[in-house]
């Protein structure tokens, strides 16, 4: 629908849905951000503060109900964003959606999103039926990675990875300007590479995944465990603990929070080095809600990267000091990637 004046990009996260509406010239026309229903957001936890065995779809919180609630929330967010643009759904030419997890882009299906409790959700069909607008779907971090190719923030890199650190952790990979998805669309699931053997249970069913240490829910779990053991420092005085609380305490020098954030930064640094060694990308750009914590997030990450470079000529040769870039906290890479996808859809139909 190239004659319609607006395009929309949608970022589906574990805790929120963000929608960006732009005009055909690329200027921003409207935005909306809504929280996800708790049936959709984050790993379902048991009494130990970790995910229940079987992940978020165990019990009554996952499966079809979670998918239906998620679709309704996305539809509501799109309508609100269009309304802030002073327009209606008939003004939208296309919508590009980034969803977490294992995505079958060609079929328009989210095969598995552990942090949302979605299994084989036909997201594109559901959104097109509700909104009457052509929709495209990609894995969220892959979509963001493609949106960053040729963006000034990537400094000319044609082979890059975008790593999102939020409720979950995932990487989108671009090689020579082309998105790398893998044979089944699962490339870049670094959040489920084991970082701590026999560690905490992850939503995917494994133990000790990177997400259990460095994702938002993993940081919160570590903080709750520290408080329960009596070593939580200032975190023990909080009624509930978020990852933002932990990083705020770390900024103020709290020993317990510093230990947690140091472990998170070190685990993430090792995962980034592994990603570079496997894919030989020029740049790694980092975004997401947890990455927005500023120096408290960046400092332990860079300290471990520096240590790994100092210990290895190979790492130093493949990972330059300026190769890892933390994006500005207000830059919604997934939503902008969604806009780029919507534009490509419009060009293909023209």
Q: Domain extents for the chain?
A: 6-145+332-349, 154-326
Please give the pLDDT value at position 328. Answer: 93
Same CATH topology for 6-145+332-349 and 154-326? yes
Q: Which residue has the tokens 């914590």?
A: 293
Residue 15 has pLDDT above 90, yes or no: no
Contacts for 156 with CB less than 8 Å, ≥ 6 apart:
none
Contacts for 236 with CB less than 8 Å, ≥ 6 apart:
227, 230
Residue 18: both structure tokens together: 């963000």
Please give the pLDDT value at position 185. Answer: 78
- Superfamily of domain 6-145+332-349 in CATH is ATPase, nucleotide binding domain (3.30.420.40)
Q: Are strands 135-139 and 118-121 parallel, antiparallel or unpaired?
A: unpaired
How much is the mean pLDDT over the chain? 89
Residue 81: both structure tokens together: 């964003």
User: pTM here?
Assistant: 0.79
Cα(281)–Cα(276) distance, rounded to whole angstroms?
6
Q: Note the pLDDT tens digit of each residue in 248-282.
A: 999 999 999 999 999 999 999 999 999 999 999 99
Residue 98 has pLDDT above 70, yes or no: yes
Q: Note the pLDDT tens digit of each residue in 164-183.
A: 999 899 999 999 999 998 88
Residue 115 has pLDDT above 70, yes or no: yes
Q: Which residue has the higher pLDDT, 210 or 36?
A: 210
Among the ranges given (59-63, 219-223, 228-232, 280-284), the one the predictor scored with the smallest mean pLDDT: 59-63
User: Any bridge partners for residue 97, and if so which?
Assistant: 10, 137
Q: Note the pLDDT tens digit of each residue in 291-350.
A: 999 999 999 999 999 999 999 999 999 999 999 999 998 888 999 999 989 998 876 655
Question: 235 with 251: CB under 8 angstroms?
Answer: no
In angstroms, what is the C-alpha Rg of the chain? 20
Q: Which residue has the tokens 């009457």?
A: 132
Identify the CATH number of the domain defined by range 154-326: 3.30.420.40
């Amino acid at each position: 629908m190239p004659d319609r004046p607006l395009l929309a990009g949608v970022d589906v996260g574990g805790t929120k849905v963000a929608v960006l509406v732009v005009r055909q010239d690329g200027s921003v026309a409207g935005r909306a951000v809504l929280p996800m229903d708790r049936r959709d957001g984050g790993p379902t936890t048991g009494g130990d503060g970790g995910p229940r065995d079987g992940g978020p779809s165990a019990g009554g919180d996952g499966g079809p109900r979670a998918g239906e609630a998620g679709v309704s929330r996305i539809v509501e967010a799109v309508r609100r964003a269009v309304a802030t643009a002073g327009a209606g759904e008939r003004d939208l030419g296309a919508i590009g959606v980034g969803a977490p997890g294992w995505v079958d882009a060609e079929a328009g299906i989210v095969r598995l999103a552990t942090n949302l409790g979605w299994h084989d959700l036909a997201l594109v069909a559901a959104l097109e039926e509700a909104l009457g607008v052509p929709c495209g779907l990609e894995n969220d971090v892959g979509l963001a990675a493609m949106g960053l190719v040729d963006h000034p923030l990537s400094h000319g890199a044609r082979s890059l990875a975008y790593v999102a650190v939020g409720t979950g952790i995932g990487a989108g990979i671009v090689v020579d300007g082309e998105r790398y998805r893998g044979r089944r669309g699962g490339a870049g699931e670094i959040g489920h590479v084991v970082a701590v053997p026999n560690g905490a249970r992850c939503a995917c069913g494994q133990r000790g995944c990177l997400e259990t240490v460095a994702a938002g829910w993993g940081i919160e779990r570590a903080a709750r465990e520290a408080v329960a053991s009596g070593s939580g420092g200032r975190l023990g005085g909080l009624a509930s603990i978020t990852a933002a609380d932990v990083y705020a305490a770390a900024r103020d020098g709290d020993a317990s929070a510093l230990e947690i954030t140091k472990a998170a930064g070190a685990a993430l640094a090792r995962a980034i080095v592994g990603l570079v060694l496997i894919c030989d990308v020029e740049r790694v750009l980092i975004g997401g809600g947890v990455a927005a914590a500023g120096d408290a997030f960046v400092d332990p990450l860079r300290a471990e990267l520096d240590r790994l470079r100092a210990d290895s000529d190979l790492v130093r040769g493949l990972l330059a000091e300026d190769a890892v870039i933390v994006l500005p906290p207000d830059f919604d890479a997934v939503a902008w990637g969604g806009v780029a996808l919507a534009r490509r859809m419009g060009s293909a139909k023209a």
